[in-house]
Amino acid sequence: MPKLNPREMLPKSYGMVVKASPFIWSEGTCLRFYKIAEDRRLFLSTASGVLTLADVLAHQDQILAEPDFNPQFSQLMDFTHVTKIDLSAEDICRLAERDIFHPTSSRAILVTNDLGEGLARLFAILREHAAEKRIRIFRNLDEALKWVFIMNVGK
């Protein structure tokens, strides 16, 4: 298998991005946005500030309404700039009920702390029951990108 450099695979300054959402501030203090790198078959979701159920549901709705969204793309969810997670286990269960991506899509969740990792693991377990088996949790961007791009080889 060829050695992959994740930073080289990510479009420089997202220059190859086909579509990017506007920055959206929710009622509280969460900023969220997404970018679609079509040539990488990648949907990048980013959040910062205080993350709530309403923020994530709104983001899911935004994804589903996006005309350039392809559910077979991979997703990198970057929560490294989230300062507070205001989500319960019950909220995660609600989020995991929705089918957004195809079961064969690779989804990397990037977190910085144990709470984020625990909630991400709960989400992955719940989605696995819906036949979505390619969700991994990371604390390192390079490792997350490398995994996503390796999983995309041949797609």
Domain containing 110: what range?
A: 20-152
Q: Which two tokens stand for residue 153?
A: 């080889």
CB-based contact 44:74 (threshold 8 Å): no
CB-based contact 39:9 (threshold 8 Å): no
CA 71, CA 100: separation in Å to the nearest integer? 7
Q: pTM of this prediction?
A: 0.83
CA 101, CA 148: separation in Å to the nearest integer? 14
Dump pLDDT digits (tens) for 11-23. 443 334 444 454 4
Contacts of 33 (CB under 8 A, 6+ apart): 20, 21, 22, 23, 24, 46
Range 132-143 average pLDDT: 95
Residue 66 lies inside a defined structural domain of this protein: yes
Candidate from 27-36, 102-111, 134-143 with smallest mean pLDDT: 27-36
Residue 8 lies inside a defined structural domain of this protein: no
Domains held by the chain: number: 1
Residue 2 lies inside a defined structural domain of this protein: no
At 60, which CATH number? Answer: 3.30.750.24
Residue 10 lies inside a defined structural domain of this protein: no
